Amino acid sequence: MANDVFRLAGKRSTAPRRLILEVLKSESGHLDAEAVHDRVKARSPRVSLATVYRSLAVLKDMGLVARHSLGEDHGHFEAVGDDPHFHLTCAGCGAVVEFRAPEAVGTARKVCAANGFALADIHLSVSGYCRQCRIRRRRKSGTAASKTGAGR
Amino acid sequence: MANDVFRLAGKRSTAPRRLILEVLKSESGHLDAEAVHDRVKARSPRVSLATVYRSLAVLKDMGLVARHSLGEDHGHFEAVGDDPHFHLTCAGCGAVVEFRAPEAVGTARKVCAANGFALADIHLSVSGYCRQCRIRRRRKSGTAASKTGAGR
DNA sequence: CTAGTTGCAAAATATTTGCGATATG
DNA sequence: CATATCGCAAATATTTTGCAACTAG
């Protein structure tokens, strides 16, 4: 199996790490640390949340996992696959739609080159309101300081 | 003066709000909540950090301020100006370079339309390593679980 | 005068870290 | 067997909230 990814990266291949990576690969969605922890605990109850964070950090350093700030709130993690994609999120209900945008990659490369940077990561996330949320929104408009993303 | 932005938005024009907006407009950089608070305290020492957060939320709702997750860590705020721009950040030293990318706006619009979303916000941030940091990096490579952005 | 806004202190959330125990290479 | 990694609990950082006092309209 491709369990040697760790060895090759000079890291140890441990059960928690393998499990976490497996979880992220199977659930193609975007899980936050807590969600990953839940999935992992189902199979290995003694794995701690701290280990999940530490492992995610390692996996990210290895380039196998990406972290996104989807709802502008806390982090979401995702296995890095073959083709890069980005995220469209609904500011109302939090729904997430993935989309491809090769142009964005080109843009990023150009900008990096122009500034002497070595490209590491591209984060393109678009937010808006889905149909449902636009309707809901029309009724109760301008109630109070709503959700900002400034927060929590 | 354009102090009626608040009134027009159905919000009250208060000293803290005016000050915070002014701070963000003058310092064209990207300040985090604490930095904004510091600047504001210099002129009005009794303004609390809580108020800064609450005001930033209001300003963001009004579309006058944007929040970015630049270092992947905590939030940074910026006054929304005339033309939209994006950010290139160095994963090593945290340097931030702004750049324009009208294509990205087009891409975002298309994606929203294709999914029935009403476009609200575009976040394009590219990270990489600047020249200096690439050099620094070559020496001490692969020491341990470094900085992930998973964190703090 | 009334409701939106503030300050303060306490709470909530997300993530990190110290340390002794454990398991990998 | 040496040390990277883990689990646990405690620590940190960031952002939010309850509530009484204040103030803009």
- Separation CA A105–CA A120 (nearest Å): 11
pLDDT confidence of residue B2: 56
Q: Is A119 on the interface with B (CB under 8 A)?
A: yes
Mind telling me how many Å the CA of A36 is from chain B's nearest CA? 13
Backbone angles phi, psi at B24, to 5 degrees: -65, -30
Q: Which of residues 37-56 of A touch strand D (CB under 7 A)?
A: 44, 46-48, 50-51, 54-55
pLDDT confidence of residue B110: 96
Pull the structure tokens for residue A112.
């990096």
- Look-up: residue for tokens 């029935």? B116
pLDDT in tens, A79-136: 998 788 999 999 888 889 999 999 999 999 999 999 999 998 899 999 999 998 888 7
* Residue B45 per-residue DSSP state: T
- Look-up: residue for tokens 């994606």? B111
- Look-up: residue for tokens 């975007």? A30
Q: Is B85 exposed, middle or buried (0-12, 13-18, 19+ CB in 10 A)?
A: middle
**Cβ A139 to strand C below 7 Å:** no
pLDDT in tens, B102-133: 999 999 999 999 999 999 889 999 999 999 88
pLDDT in tens, A17-73: 999 999 999 987 899 999 999 999 999 999 999 999 999 999 999 999 999 988 778
Q: Is the dihedral of CA B111, B116, B119, B124 positive or negative?
A: negative
Mutate to test the interface with B, among A30, A103, A111 (most CBs of B within 10 A): A111
- Separation CA A23–CA B15 (nearest Å): 50
**Cβ B33 to strand D below 7 Å:** yes
Backbone angles phi, psi at B8, to 5 degrees: -60, -30
Interface of A with B in 61-100 (CB under 8 A): 61, 67, 69, 72, 75, 77, 88, 90-91, 97, 99
- Separation CA A97–CA A87 (nearest Å): 6
- Separation CA B127–CA B132 (nearest Å): 14
Q: A with B: how many residue pairs have Cβ under 8 Å apart?
A: 164
Mind telling me how many Å the CA of A84 is from chain B's nearest CA? 14
pLDDT confidence of residue B105: 94
Q: Is B125 on the interface with A (CB under 8 A)?
A: yes
Mutate to test the interface with A, among B123, B131, B137, B140 (most CBs of A within 10 A): B123
Pull the structure tokens for residue B111.
């994606």
Q: CA(B11)–C1'(C1) in Å?
A: 19
What integer is the mean pLDDT of B135-145? 55
pLDDT in tens, B18-57: 999 999 999 878 999 999 999 999 999 999 999 999 999 9
- Where on strand C do bases come within 7 A of a protein Cβ? 4-10, 12-18, 23-25
Q: Which residue of A has its CA nearest to B133?
A: A117
- Look-up: residue for tokens 């990953």? A36
